[in-house]
């Protein structure tokens, strides 16, 4: 299920270095300020703030903004699910139910902290590139994110994140919405299940139903998601 937020991760992988939280207001008067603003929006899972970091003049900004907003909502639901499972079944329960030790929001925050130390910005006039650094092989292999300055304000270009088929954006947004619904239902199950075994059974049934409903759509968008891993 994590592959469906590849778009957000691909931007996050390159946009989180250089600086911490922004100063007051949504200023992006420098590339570093835009990076800090974007990183803060990821940490808060604020879809509207993420979308506001995109170049409004770039073709395709609207569908990419919708994807970031949907991804933030899905991650917020996952965070709430993780918290509910830990509260009901103990700190180590997430690994038993998801196959991983932590939820994606925690993974994102860790990656952001790593990139704050290692990423660098290369500015050339009214354009800039965010270069990955550090020892993470996935980050080092990633393509630089690109920025553009318009009327003194810096934004991210969106062209590198657009699929060849514009309909794929709607399909990815559909998958993110279904995953958000899955986490919300799973959170409710964590509170109502009689015990851990009953919860595991109900969660498996929920996931099987999700796979049946989304398999065909996922197969359509998987090449696009692989491109942004």
Rounded to an integer, the average pLDDT of 27-43 is: 83
For the record, the structure tokens of 24 come out as 């007051």
Rounded to an integer, the average pLDDT of 76-94 is: 87
d(CA 43, CA 41): 5
The pLDDT value given to residue 14: 41
Domain count along the chain? 1
Among 147-151, 187-191, 213-217, whose mean pLDDT is lowest? 213-217
Task: Check if the beta carbon of residue 156 is closer than 8 Å to that of residue 38.
Answer: yes
Residue 86 pLDDT > 80, yes or no?
A: yes
8 lies in which domain range?
Answer: 2-227
Task: Check if the beta carbon of residue 52 is closer than 8 Å to that of residue 85.
Answer: no
pLDDT-based confidence at residue 107 (cuts at 50, 70, 90): low
d(CA 131, CA 146): 9
Which residue would you say has higher pLDDT here, 20 or 220? 220
Rounded to an integer, the average pLDDT of 36-42 is: 83
Residue 137 pLDDT > 80, yes or no?
A: no
- Residue identified by tokens 């994606």 is 104
* SS3 per-residue string spanning 61-123: HHHHHHHHHHHHHHHHHHHHHHHHHHHHHCCCHHHHHHCCCCCHHHHHHHHHHHHHHHCEEEE
pTM for this model (two decimals): 0.77
């Amino acid at each position: 299920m994590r592959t469906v937020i590849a778009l957000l991760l691909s931007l996050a992988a390159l946009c989180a270095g250089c600086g911490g939280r922004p100063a007051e207001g949504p200023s992006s008067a420098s590339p570093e300020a835009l990076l800090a603003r974007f990183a803060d929006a990821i940490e808060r899972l604020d879809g509207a703030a993420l979308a506001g970091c995109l170049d409004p003049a770039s073709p395709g900004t609207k569908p990419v903004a919708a994807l970031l907003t949907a991804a933030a909502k899905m991650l917020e639901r996952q965070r709430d699910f993780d918290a509910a499972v830990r509260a009901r079944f103990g700190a180590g329960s997430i690994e038993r139910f998801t196959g991983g030790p932590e939820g994606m929001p925690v993974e994102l925050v860790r990656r952001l902290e790593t990139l704050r130390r290692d990423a660098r910005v290369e500015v050339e006039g009214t354009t800039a590139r965010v270069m990955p650094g550090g020892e993470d092989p996935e980050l080092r292999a990633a393509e630089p994110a690109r920025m553009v300055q318009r009327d003194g304000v810096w934004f991210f270009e969106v062209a590198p994140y657009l699929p060849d088929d514009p309909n794929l954006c709607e399909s990815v947004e559909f998958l993110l919405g279904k995953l958000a619904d899955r986490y919300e239902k799973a959170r409710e199950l964590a509170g109502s299940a009689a015990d851990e075994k009953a919860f595991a059974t109900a969660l498996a049934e929920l996931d099987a139903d999700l796979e049946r409903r989304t398999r065909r759509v996922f197969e359509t968008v998987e090449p696009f998601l692989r491109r942004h891993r």
